[in-house]
Amino acid sequence: MAEAGVAASAAAATGAALAVAPAGGFRVAVSPGPVAVGTMVLRDAHPADLWHPADDPGSALYLHHLAVGRAFAGRRIGAWLLDQAAAEAGRRGKRYLRLDAWTSNTRLHDYYRSQGFRLVRFEDDTSGALFERPVSPP
């Protein structure tokens, strides 16, 4: 995506690098020091109450718990983490990076759209807004 270079530059400016926890899909972006600047969890498994068989759940990597430290807000670390997650999805042969957000958090919806995600649907029973972003193979 066009903004990927900007996000990577922002990460480089803070000295951020992505560290992978040895167990599970937990990722931490760290800057020199080391200081954690952001986190995310990536999983092959999908929340069954949100993504249904018709969604082809195996075609996606699922992102959970994306967070950026307040001291690093506005530096595009979140965009960089999303790009890293999309790259990982591509390496795993997935077609999409998917996530969910609270239905009422329209500001977050706008942010995800600005990062290349499209709204798939709202799940009324769970207060979930479901988003996906196409990814490219490596």
Identify the three-state secondary structure at position 10: helix
Give the pLDDT confidence of 64-106 residue by residue, as tens digits: 999 998 888 888 889 989 999 999 999 999 999 999 999 999 9
Give the contacts of 107 (CB within 8 A, at least 6 positions apart): none
Q: What angle do CA 10, 12, 4 make, to 5 degrees?
A: 50
User: Are the C-beta atoms of 129 and 101 separated by less than 8 Å?
Assistant: yes
- pLDDT for 74: 87
